[in-house]
Chains A and B, each alone.
Chain A
């Protein structure tokens, strides 16, 4: 086929809309001219010829438009094909280039992998805590968790935990919601005999099913008629995995009987896989609250669980009507709260403060607990860590950009040659970006792999009870997030060499040897290193602050020894026992526990730190309204109670076997309580009355050290009474072991279980498991800040090392000259180390300044540490400088051994 010279250039002109139109016009014009010319040659005059030509052609205007449309779409397609061709070529070129330098590729992929992995791990956690609504939730934007607030002693207390009567009040008195349900989850004994296990059960009203887009896998869900508090129906909906493992996924599971807690339930349906109601962890079954609460025998016969105002154990979830705004719904809720407060005041007869002072209100908060006003400090720390992970990624990007820059500098002659040969700069830039994007995508896969392991490790060690399901770190959202990050990283890292390529002076580069020009240091690379050093300082300061907080928390005296104490809980599971029976059982359990060799002390208890509290009205002669001074919580214990817990008696005495039901009524008070009630006086011998002013005096016989049992950061106002004198048939035991408590729990459980009648059972829990969640936020902060900080430090060190090492190789010639002129090895080393420090010191100073300024934002998350803690900052600065010296000393060593002969002879 013949080709006309100059073709390409002419074709390229048609590449825009105007060009296309012009080409069509040219073509048609030529056609007309030729036709007219021919017709005139045949003897027509010019007018006739033109008319004939137009007749032959047909509708010129329409054809012209049609041709332009066709051509435009053709050009569009050609452009796409050409772009794709260029792209695949770039890709091939990039792959070839990287295969020639596998070390470089590996370094980049690992660096980016670590950065992306850190981010993906944090994303997995934060997504769970803050962003992902419960699975299957319908209309998530209108679904809410209801919060209740009451003002006491001038401060408003917000909580999402309420009793069933509060739910009934709000349901009855509001009209803004189309569905409302109580929900809580509880560990209940499931099964019978040896197969009995405690498992998580979701407990709710029938409206829960309306709030989710779920249909049963088989059977059905429970209905309103099956959730009547006064007439409970014992039906259960199984979770999908429980149905699979316990019933083999068979249809005849429907109608089967299942022992849950103290009752027998009939299986009526199976929920779809992944459904957990409003719970954050995996549930095995779902039962109506009427059945579960009745079977658990909650409340008292004269004040049952569904109408008492004295218990708060569930949360309310509701869906707003589509035509009701949030403001209106909140007003509705508050209105209802005020009404309900009146109802409550009437019921409890004047024990409530007046409504004007209490200012009760309720509001619709986010479904996700950690999005709401009572968010856990874990969520706050996690949010911070997202920022930290982002910084790690930035440092990783800076490192990679540095590596790419070094490569670009090495390839500048090649680039200059290509520009001179007419390759467009845009094309070169595209190629650089293709290369960095490809590396970044590889990094993303490395990162997701890291997140898999990191996430699993993290959720099993630090967040055991906060995330449900094994899939938390392996889903499409995470993958999409990682790929997104990779694209960003690819662009960021491609940017640096791009700027270089854009500025290149072709002629100068071509003229210069490889030696010349490269000696001038890249300001961009130095800037990146300074940034890295500053970021490393920030992260390490954070790590130091959290580590100090964690140590402070762990060294904090709680007022008892959680490491040595186990808590024994009795679960009657429906076995009926009167008080006398219970007292006997508790006493025999106590006696048995004291005979176990590894048990040092054992004592009866009533409440358990970080697990249960009991507040009671107390009256003290000479003090008006004691309750205005604070919340006083109580404990009852048998003889040896204080020895068992390890709580020190500061003055007076603890309890002895001589404190009996019939002996003098006594009490031990905590130091803070003593100070609050009788400031400047001796508490011993004072009188405290329980429940009413008319009750007999309890004499204070001892003062105990303060305990922290509801918050780590605050001591409680706490007092103790002998078990024999206060609810002797309630509570469980504390057991103090000779060794670490958690290793002996099973032996103790087996020994005590033998005494339990029928299906009733004991659980034995180390106190550390109750304390651990309290200090978890600092543990997470310390661990992750330390990990990320170390990562940042390593990356920064590698970055500095590679830049110094690169500069040293480029300056071999200069070093040769210096050595030839008589420089000693020491001089050369000093020269280079000083250069390294010149880069790092501004970064360290910058980082330290930022850390000092930013400190105030992180202060609320720390524990007894100032955010500007001098030891931490000094330690970090010294570490960084040390690392900088080391990173530049290694290449300096090499430079000092330069053979001047060789260095001067080589180009």
Chain B
């Protein structure tokens, strides 16, 4: 599953949004998700991708932009592995 697909699935499941509205270029504002809503979404992102989303001001306007931002974070952060199994 690509990051974009995960995002579309999460927005459908957790935000009750219809799949036909969740195309890659769909504007977050049009979907009723403001900047605080994106921050809340990042809690799920951190859990799903085992990354840390930094506390930074970032303007993301579409689903595709959020997916690209997550992909950049994944690429820039070393995989967080459970310490007990990494020995």
Are A and B genuine complex partners? no
Q: Which residues of B contact A (CB under 8 A)?
A: none
List the interface of chain A (C-beta within 8 A of B): none
